Amino acid sequence: MNDLHRCLATFQEDANAHPRVRSLIKGWDRTASVVALDTDEVFRFRFEKGVITDVVPDTLGEDDDDEISIRGTVQILTDVFTGRQNPATAHLSGTLQVFASEKDQVKLDAITLVLWG
């Protein structure tokens, strides 16, 4: 398990342990991928039944069309998923790319807001 994988797993545990996050993602079933642009690593997980499923390493196919795709360098992704960097700021500066509907983008950001303020 590398650094990014470890920090995603920690994020999953923290989010699942947080009652407000569970309330936020209740009834919100989505598949999400996290793509490291500098190392081509891909991780996938699901928001399902009010929890985040295990984060699994994967590969990026030609026709991948996840409902949510979060992309950035390993450094940015690690900073964002550990709460060291505000994801909204990273997104506004263009360093973090989030492909999802506008509503889903706000929901994702809200999760980090609830977790880290």
Which of 5, 6, 16, 109 forms a contact with another protein (CB under 8 A)?
109
Distance, in Å, from the CA atom of 109 to the CA atom of 115, rounded to the nearest integer, reads 10
Q: Report in angstroms how near the CB of residue 19 gets to another protein at its nearest.
A: 10
Q: Which is nearer to another protein, 45 or 112 (CB)?
A: 112
Is residue 58 close enough to count as binding another protein by CB under 8 A?
no
CB half-sphere exposure, 84, CA atoms < 13 A? 7
Dihedral angle over CA of 77, 16, 14, 7, nearest 10: -30
Q: Which is nearer to another protein, 10 or 89 (CB)?
A: 89
Location of structure tokens 């398990």: 1
Is residue 39 close enough to count as binding another protein by CB under 8 A?
no
